Chains A and B, each alone.
Chain A
Amino acid sequence: MTPGESDMVLAAEYVLTLLSPTEAAAFEDRLAREPSLRALVAAWADDFVAMTDGIAEARVPPRVWQAIHQRLWPAEAKAPAKGFWARLGLGEFAAGAALAAMFAFLVYQSDLLTPAFQPDFVAEIGEETAPVHFAAAFDAETGALRLKREGQGAAEGRSYHLWLIAGSAAPVSVLVWPANSSKQDVVLPASLAAVLPGATLAISDEPLGGSPTGQPTGAVLAAGQVIAS
């Protein structure tokens, strides 16, 4: 073989990973200096890649992207809330604060609700046996949402924060759970009442007084979907 032919074959062996580590390292030293050798490698890579043309695509499970994200940006992935929202298939919630502001609404105390409260939707927020567990009932006609804390209260110096997540929208703050309270009633504005059925209610662990950012910052302690009763 001529020197040119021997480089051409060497380039093929490199692309096929047939070279020993020592040979490959020596070859890579040359590659760094010799553009013509790089062109040979690129041409072989393009030739051989045709062997993969007939290989069918395969659906990648969502957890693969999550794992990549976590490996590349671990600091962000560490916020426990994020993994939770991702598991729910709700995407990231960077734009959430603005949305939350848009949906700002009044919270009424329980005594404002009439005895005519007729829930047609319910939600179990957290497992019934879990330490953090709430029950919710919702009257779609009036927009009244009744919440009951059935598990333990928030830790010393921390607050429970309730969020509503509708479809792929960012979480919307519903209320910061008052310490020592076991029952809360809120009346949702029409825009939120309309999307509550089928949405998710979730409780996150936040600093005393609730999330400082308008979005969940701590661990999600419990969540449940609002379903027809």
Chain B
Amino acid sequence: MSHRAGSACAFSVQHIEEGGEEKGKIAPHPVRRVHVTQMGPWNMQVLPARQPGDLSKNMATLEDIEDLIARTALADRAAFQELYQLTSAKLFGISLRVLGTRSEAEEAVQDSYIKIWRSAGRYQAGGYSPMTWLITIARNTAIDRLRARRSSASDLSEADAIPSSDPGPEALAIAGSERARLMSCMEELDADRSEAVKGAYLLGLTYQELAERYDVPLNTMRTWLRRSLKKLKDCLTR
């Protein structure tokens, strides 16, 4: 069982943004529109009953999210809260998917928003689109927690410790062209290699764990996956 990388990478998103001195040179990322469903009234109960002012009734645009992150960076609590209301259901869904239990996912979401509050000032420099930035923080936070759990559960058999990477039913539904594009490129890879990429992203499997899972030497696994990533990028930029 490998214990590597966890905490160092959990803050990867923040670290990326620390080199902000040349941020002006980063090409703007292509805008990918996502639809973020507004949180229901259950949240409004505990939060100050504040209407999300300039947001349209049911949809928030990426520009809205970006604006909220920018205001959060200025320690605007109302903006942070609005950001939470708009995006926490998505981040919670992802944390839940990675971690599998509600209690752990709740803690991961807490940690994620603490990081979002503290690192919002470095968002601009990373060149991420806003939902990618938020989701990457949530994913890294959940993966970090999952890896810590796996390394402390060494008494469990490997089968118990490493959940299946089968895509759930929801993962099979094609939602949006970005997803379709990625998935069609993943399909061009051999099935076990695209599974390995998914296992790394959604389950946080390390090279060591992937090598064990596919029963190949560690270095073979590295070579294998690196080739697959190159092939994937070739397809994505085609």
- Residues in chain A within 8 A of chain B (CB atoms): 1, 5, 8-9, 12-21, 24-25, 28, 31-33, 35, 38-39, 41-68, 71-72, 86, 89, 91-92, 94, 168
Given contacts A32-B15, A49-B136, A52-B202, 6 further A-B contacts (CB under 8 A): A13-B229, A41-B16, A42-B128, A50-B182, A63-B106, A64-B110
- Rounded to whole angstroms, the CA-CA distance of A108 and B73 in the bound complex is 51
Residues on the A chain within 8 Å of B6, using CB:
17
Q: Which of A5, A8, A68, A86 contacts B113 (CB 8 A)?
A: A68
What is the minimal beta-carbon distance from B137 to any residue of chain A, in angstroms? Answer: 10
Please report whether the interface of chain B is mostly helix, strand, loop or mixed according to DSSP: helix
**Would you give 16 A-B contacts (Cβ < 8 Å), ordered by A?**
A13-B225, A16-B200, A17-B140, A45-B132, A45-B136, A46-B30, A46-B129, A46-B132, A52-B139, A55-B90, A60-B109, A62-B42, A65-B46, A66-B46, A68-B113, A71-B110
Q: Which of B4, B133, B176 contacts A53 (CB 8 A)?
A: B176
Residues on the A chain within 8 Å of B129, using CB:
42, 46
* With A56-B170, A71-B114: A5-B230 Cβ-Cβ less than 8 Å: yes
Closest to A46 in B: B132
Q: Let me know if B204 and A17 touch, CB within 8 A.
A: yes
Q: Which of B92, B105, B127, B197 contacts A38 (CB 8 A)?
A: B127
What is the minimal beta-carbon distance from A57 to any residue of chain B, in angstroms? Answer: 4
Q: Let me know if B4 and A20 touch, CB within 8 A.
A: yes
* With A18-B206, A53-B175, A68-B110: A91-B126 Cβ-Cβ less than 8 Å: no
Q: Is B213's beta carbon under 8 Å from chain A?
A: no
Chain B stretch 114-159: residues in CB contact (< 8 A) with chain A: 114, 117, 125-129, 131-133, 135-136, 139-140, 143
Q: Which of A16, A20, A25, A32 has the most CB of B within 10 A?
A: A16
Please report whether the interface of chain A is mostly helix, strand, loop or mixed according to DSSP: helix
Chain B stretch 192-226: residues in CB contact (< 8 A) with chain A: 197-198, 200-202, 204, 206-207, 225-226
Residues on the A chain within 8 Å of B131, using CB:
49
- Rounded to whole angstroms, the CA-CA distance of A57 and B170 in the bound complex is 11
Q: Is B189's beta carbon under 8 Å from chain A?
A: no
Q: Let me know if A21 and B201 touch, CB within 8 A.
A: no
Residues on the B chain within 8 Å of A58, using CB:
89, 92-93, 96, 105
Q: Is B172's beta carbon under 8 Å from chain A?
A: yes
- Rounded to whole angstroms, the CA-CA distance of A65 and B106 in the bound complex is 10
Closest to A5 in B: B230
- Rounded to whole angstroms, the CA-CA distance of A57 and B40 in the bound complex is 12
Q: Is B5's beta carbon under 8 Å from chain A?
A: yes
- Rounded to whole angstroms, the CA-CA distance of A200 and B123 in the bound complex is 43
Q: Let me know if A62 and B45 touch, CB within 8 A.
A: yes
Q: B70-88 CB contact bits vs A (8 Å, 1 = yes)? A: 0000000000010010001
Closest to B97 in A: A55
* With A28-B15, A46-B128, A64-B106: A91-B49 Cβ-Cβ less than 8 Å: yes
What is the minimal beta-carbon distance from B214 to any residue of chain A, in angstroms? Answer: 14
* With A17-B140, A32-B19: A64-B109 Cβ-Cβ less than 8 Å: yes
Q: Let me know if A57 and B175 touch, CB within 8 A.
A: no
Residues on the B chain within 8 Å of A8, using CB:
229-230, 233
Q: B33-59 CB contact bits vs A (8 Å, 1 = yes)? A: 010010110110111110000000000
- Rounded to whole angstroms, the CA-CA distance of A68 and B106 in the bound complex is 10
Residues on the A chain within 8 Å of B19, using CB:
31-33, 38
Closest to A30 in B: B19
